[in-house]
Each structure stands twice: as C-alpha cells, then as structure tokens.
C-alpha cells in the first residue's frame, strides 16, 4: 500500500469487529511508528513525512487511543502488540523497523519479544519499561478515583485556557510554560468517557502509585540480536534520561543519542532532529532476519540448560 506523495493519510480498517485507525506515508521499506499514552498517530506527522521519501511509514492509533475503538477489554502491552501485528498483517506488511515512544517503546519491545520474526530494527524513544522511575503526575493518575476526578475537571474551555497560559509563559521565557502546554495537550483526548477509561486501563497495566510496574530490563540481552537505537530528550522530566543510558549499557551493540532541544516528546519538540537520528540509524544498519531457530539459539546462549526437578544441581 502506497500513500500519495507528501501526504499522511488516515485509513480505517475493522479488526475483530472493532475500528482501527492508522496513518500512512511514503513508499519503500516499512517503518512503524508507535505512539505513547495520550498521543495518537497524528502526533507522528512531521517525523512520518520526513521519513516518507525513503520508507513506507505506518502509524497506528493504539486501541483506546486517537480514533481507534475503545472497547472494554485488555489494554496490556501484549494486547497492544498483538493488535499492531494484526493490523500489519491485514495491510500486507510482514517485517518492519519499529519505532516506539514512551508507552509505545514498551509496546515495541513487547512486539519484538512476541513476534521477533517480524522486526528488522528497533528504535526506543524516551521509552517506558526501562526502569522504575516515572513522573509523579503519572503515578498519581494510577490512584483509585481518578476517573471521577478527570470527568469533573476535563473540559474544552478549561484546557484551552491552560494552553493559552502555557503559551504566554513560554513567550516570557518560563520553562513551566512548555510543561503546562504538554499537560494540556495530553489531557485533550480524555474529554470522552471511553477515552478516559481506556487511558486508565492502559496506565494501570504499566504504572502504579510506586512507579513503573512493568520492566524489560531482565530481557534486554535479547536485543543484541537486532539493531537497536535508544533516543532521549535531554529535558525529559517524565522518564529519566538515566533509564536510556542504562539500557544502552545493557544492550550489546546498541546506539544511543540525546536531543538537546527535546523533553519527553522528541517527535513533537524536535521532529527534524529525531528524523535525522532515525534516518541515519536505518541507513547504517542491516535489517535483522530472525526465525524460530535463531530465537532458540539466542535464548540458549544466556539461559542455563533445563534439568529435571530433583536432579542434583550441576
């Protein structure tokens, strides 16, 4: 499937009886862009168009996000990964480079663990799942009763006023203005009850009051089998930059870049810088091609041999 030059067209498909929205741009080897919590495929527009000259770029709205359906059901990382697998299969994409931001980074890693044969490269942008720490705002959002609070406070007029206030603060040189605008941008999708419920289900699948409750750090060694890039905004106050540095140290052969002009949303704060990092990463690495036999060998290199329970330890 090819998109018109210069376009980032929105498409709809029905999978398992539910609406799934995705956007597509360009032509060439496929790149899949996976957004984070409270974002949608539309937030990838600048990056997608930057990459579209050499790649078919496909960006799905995760279930319960953007304009995709928000059913009552499973919002775990595995469910999001399986939904993307089904979408790619339905539109004829077998293998691709995956790029995941924040929650989308966790989804991208889960996709790789579940479907390694379908992944050629992996790029993690300010990714979740690489450490315990996360912003107090997200920990607070995981508390009981937040759904009622959100329904009482999130209104278009209030969010508009907060966004304008953030803009005035930015023009006066206050960094807090940037954060206030980021918060209001994140809250806008929660004006509908279905979106609020999907957000809370997704959030509570990965975060609780103590921090991130899902970690990929025990399996980072598996990424040595695939070209991996880690990118972080140097002004990120949502997920610490130190998570990216530690992950880079734990993934043999991985690449690591920071973007000085970006906070937690590099694809919005510095889309040109992120696009250049991704373009270089893709052009300078050969795509991985993993099959079931390879996966077994990868696990065997790091895992002790099985032994019958009751046998003496070796």
Q: Write out the chain in H/E/C secondary structure.
A: CCCCCCCCEEEEEEECCEEEEEEEECCCCEEEEECCCCCCHHHHHHHHHHHCCCCEEEEECCCCCCCCCCCCCCCCHHHHHHHHHHHHHHCCCCCEEEEEECHHHHHHHHHHHHCHHHEEEEEEECCCCCCCCCCHHHHHHCCCCHHHHHHHHCCHHHHHHHHHHHHHHHHCCCHHHHHHHHHHHHHHHHHCHHHHHHHHHHHHHHEECCEECCCCHHHHHHHHHCCEEEEEECCCCCCCHHHHHHHHHHCCCCEEEEECCCCCCHHHHCHHHHHHHHHHHHHCCCCCCCCHHHHHHHHHHHCCCCCCCCCCCC
Q: Which of 102, 126, 254, 275 is catalytic?
A: 102
Active site residue 306: no
Identified catalytic residue from 101, 163, 264, 267: 264
Q: From the candidates 236, 243, 267, 275, give the one annotated as an active-site residue.
A: 236
* Tokens at 280, concatenated: 């270089």
Active-site annotation holds for 236: yes
Q: Are 266 and 236 in contact (CB under 8 A)?
A: no
264 flagged as catalytic: yes
Q: Which residues are catalytic?
A: 102, 236, 264
């Amino acid at each position: 499937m090819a998109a018109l030059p210069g376009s980032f067209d929105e498409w709809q498909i029905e999978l398992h009886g539910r609406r799934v929205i995705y956007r597509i741009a360009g032509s060439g080897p496929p790149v899949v862009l996976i957004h984070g919590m409270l974002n949608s495929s539309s937030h990838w527009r600048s990056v997608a168009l930057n990459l579209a000259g050499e790649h078919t770029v496909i960006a799905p709205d995760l279930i319960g996000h953007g304009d995709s359906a928000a059913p009552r059901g499973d919002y775990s990382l595995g469910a999001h990964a399986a939904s993307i697998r089904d979408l790619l299969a339905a539109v004829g994409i077998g293998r691709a480079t995956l790029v995941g931001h924040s929650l989308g980074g966790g989804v991208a890693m889960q996709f790789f663990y579940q479907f390694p044969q379908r992944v050629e490269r992996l790029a993690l942008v300010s990714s979740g799942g690489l450490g315990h720490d996360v912003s107090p705002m997200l920990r607070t959002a995981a508390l009981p009763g937040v759904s009622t609070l959100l329904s009482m406070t999130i209104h278009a007029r209030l969010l508009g006023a907060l966004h304008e206030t953030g803009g005035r603060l930015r023009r006066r040189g206050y960094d807090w203005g940037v954060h206030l605008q980021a918060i209001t941008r994140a809250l806008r999708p929660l004006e509908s009850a279905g979106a609020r419920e999907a957000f809370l289900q997704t959030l509570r699948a990965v975060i609780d009051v103590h921090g991130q409750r899902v970690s990929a750090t025990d399996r980072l060694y598996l990424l040595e089998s695939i070209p991996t890039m880690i990118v972080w905004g140097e002004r990120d106050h949502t997920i610490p930059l130190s998570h990216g540095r530690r992950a880079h140290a734990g993934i043999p052969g991985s690449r690591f870049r920071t973007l000085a002009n970006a906070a937690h949303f590099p694809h919005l704060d510095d889309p040109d810088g992120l696009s250049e990092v991704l373009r270089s990463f893709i052009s300078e690495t050969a795509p991985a091609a993993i099959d079931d036999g390879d996966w077994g060998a990868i696990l065997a290199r790091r895992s002790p041999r099985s032994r019958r329970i009751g046998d003496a330890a070796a």
